[in-house]
């Protein structure tokens, strides 16, 4: 999983390698939790663009969306 961060004139690519051959909603939730915590600490807004992969649209992910938005992370 990865993120491209656009800050001022610069860009920063961050990523996390996952063990195994597939990504699951639990891994996505963990990654988004970390991004939301970082957004909240920095008092910044973070926007995440997801495709329609099943692990992005899972109910477990969507159930946390409101809480993440309160922390500054928008899907």
pLDDT tens readout for residues 42-75: 998 989 888 888 888 899 999 999 999 999 999 9
Structural domain total, the chain = 1
Q: Under DSSP, is residue 24 helix (H, G, I), strand (E, B) or coil?
A: coil
The answer to whether 43 touches 72, Cβ cutoff 8 Å, is yes
Q: What is the mean pLDDT of residues 25-29?
A: 88
pTM of the model: 0.81
- Residue length of the chain: 75
Q: Under DSSP, is residue 55 helix (H, G, I), strand (E, B) or coil?
A: helix
> What band does 21 get if pLDDT is binned at 50, 70 and 90?
low
| Residue the block writes with tokens 């329609």 | 52
The answer to whether residue 15 sits within a structural domain is no
The answer to whether residue 9 sits within a structural domain is no
| Structural domain range at position 49 | 20-74
The answer to whether residue 10 sits within a structural domain is no
Question: What would you report as the CA-atom Rg of the chain, rounded to the nearest whole angstrom?
Answer: 12
The answer to whether residue 8 sits within a structural domain is no
Q: What percent of the chain has pLDDT above 70?
A: 96
């Amino acid at each position: 999983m990865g993120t491209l961060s656009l800050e001022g004139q610069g860009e920063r690519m961050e990523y996390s390698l996952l063990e195994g051959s597939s990504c699951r909603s639990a891994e996505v939730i963990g990654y988004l939790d970390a991004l939301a915590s970082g957004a909240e600490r920095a008092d910044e807004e973070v926007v995440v663009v997801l495709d329609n992969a099943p692990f992005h649209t899972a109910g477990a992910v969507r159930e946390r969306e409101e809480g993440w938005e309160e922390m500054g992370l928008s899907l």
